[in-house]
Amino acid sequence: MKVAVVSDTHYGDKTRNLPTILFDRLEKVQPGLILHAGDITDPELLERLEEIAPALAVRGNADRLNLPEGEVVEVEDLKIGMIHGHQLLSLNAHFLTLKALEMDVDVLIFGHTHRYYYDTHSLYGRKVILLNPGSPLFPRMDSPGFAVLHVVGEDVSVERITFW
């Protein structure tokens, strides 16, 4: 299954234009699920994502939407956790890995930094994938885009989609 991972779109607070480039690229990917790691800021964006595929989102620090702080979803044999990241003292790999272990997930998706990050870490004998898809509209010292998880059973690979 393909899972599109998006974060920090800030539609409604930083822009009033729906990000058509994001929707075009998502439609080309044809994900079975879309995960948004927060800072949506307007329910219209989430509704538009739902037109492409089922979408789940967590609340970011700029959101005033009624969304959960964290979410765990099972995709095939993989447990994927999602937070925005502003709740943590630091977004370093150690804190994020500890959060993934606390949530008992194989993959932890987070946002907040507006910068792509992907790595695998091991702690206490557990391997955890950490993924920040960056921001498709407001990247910080990075390219705009999102990520795609390719999940087969408990195996996962990550593809980065950039707009230019």
Task: Give whole-number Cα distances, 17 to 3, 14, 129, in Å.
Answer: 24, 9, 33
pTM given for the model: 0.96
Query: What is the chain's pLDDT, residue by residue, as a tens digit (164 residues)?
Result: 999 999 999 987 877 777 899 999 999 999 999 999 999 999 999 999 999 999 999 999 999 999 999 999 999 999 999 999 999 988 999 999 999 999 999 999 999 999 999 999 999 999 999 999 999 999 999 999 999 999 999 999 999 999 98
Which structural domain, as residue segments, surrounds residue 131?
2-162
Please tell me the total count of domains within the chain.
1
Q: What is the domain-level CATH number for residue 142?
A: 3.60.21.10
With 0-12 / 13-18 / 19 or more C-beta atoms within 10 angstroms meaning exposed / middle / buried, residue 20 is exposed
